[in-house]
Structure 1
């Protein structure tokens, strides 16, 4: 057998072996893909239904603690709040790789959602964990004011929330409280120094918001405070 023929046969044998190896790898990938998809679905199910042990097991197997769902783009940590899965919530929050500033499709962070839902324990835990309170645009304080929770508003202010923070269209927390008819929130914000004279991009004050939704008690309260400031 010539050297040329020997080399040709060796190369042919190596090619066949390479094809076999690549085929096995492809089969392995195809077999594992559904498993990963199933694991993701199992993870979301366990988070939604507050199943601590399955969540822990899947995290130990490498499931991403910052996984998001497709409809709202919310992280699984956000889902725990929306679904009231308050046993799973601290499990996820304690993970060192948790991303507290991840945003859903509408721009919400997990702290903003906790404030909007009025979940005081979650707000406290997120602040202790280092969640950002002040940021450009809509903030946790806007959402707390819309919810009307005096406890959450006070908590945010204690941690240096900017009381007259403005959204992109210059809406303030006081305007949000007035628009949603939250008298206690309006009173607290004014007591803590919120400025009722501020206007949004359309030239509307908190008083205008209150009048628009026929919140007469809030409107009278704001009008009195604005007149006092103008003297």
Structure 2
């Protein structure tokens, strides 16, 4: 079916509940398929781009989570789309962009004043968790926009701890060079070195240990 025929058929829909239900399904299918054409048709019809899915997830969050980058970019270009909607786990679109390494989209979110800092789990925690090479640029971006480097999760874990357990070795080095405190402990009494050792990441543990030693005052004979 040609685009003009799709448009005619869509505009012929009434506002009956059945039509809305169909549009609702089409909306989340468009996100899953990264289909900006279908999303545009829905938007022209007046469909609310902030509509939540049955699990309470915002469209922008879903697009970032599922790799629908064209749809995410489209949504971010619409001024009525909320960039700071939080789900039941208090996750924001920026947190998902940070976790998935969507650097260009993270920059756009920050331009639209998405919160870089927040209580509990923060975007920097999520960025530090990503093991990919691109996580270095993401962490650097967040730090440039004043992300709190020793942000504490609900159990007291810091971005450095998350990087030590899951993240890229260069992120560990970047956080340490940027002033992350390697001596902090979470509620279980674990330090970043403990996190690295739990994951059998001996080289990462050694990097953190070297940073700890560098903080110690030089002794005198």
Structure 1 residue 181: Cα displacement: 4.7
2-structure distance, mates of 1:113, 1:137:
15
Show the 5 A alignment for 1:114-153: 114-148=97-131, 149-153=135-139
Name the counterpart of 1:22: none
CA RMSD of aligned residues (A): 1.6
Structure 1: 4+ residue segments shifted above 3 A: none
1:220 aligns with 2:206: yes
- Determine if contact 1:49/1:83 at 8 Å carries over to the other structure: no
1:57 aligns with 2:41: yes
Structure 1 residue 185: Cα displacement: 0.7
- TM-score of the pair, normalised by structure 1: 0.83
Name the counterpart of 1:95: 78
- Determine if contact 1:181/1:218 at 8 Å carries over to the other structure: no
1:79 aligns with 2:65: no
Structure 1 residue 203: Cα displacement: 1.2
1-structure distance, mates of 2:111, 2:143:
14
1:189-217: CA deviations, max 9, x gaps? 00111110111111111011111111100
How many matched pairs? 201
Structure 1 residue 66: Cα displacement: 0.9
Relative to structure 2, which stretch is displaced further, 60-69 or 162-171? 60-69
1:205 aligns with 2:188: no
- 5+ long unaligned stretches in structure 1: 1-30
Q: Which has the higher helix share?
A: 1
Name the counterpart of 1:41: 25
Structure whose CA Rg is larger = 1
Show the 5 A alignment for 1:166-177: 166-177=152-163
- 5+ long unaligned stretches in structure 2: 1-14
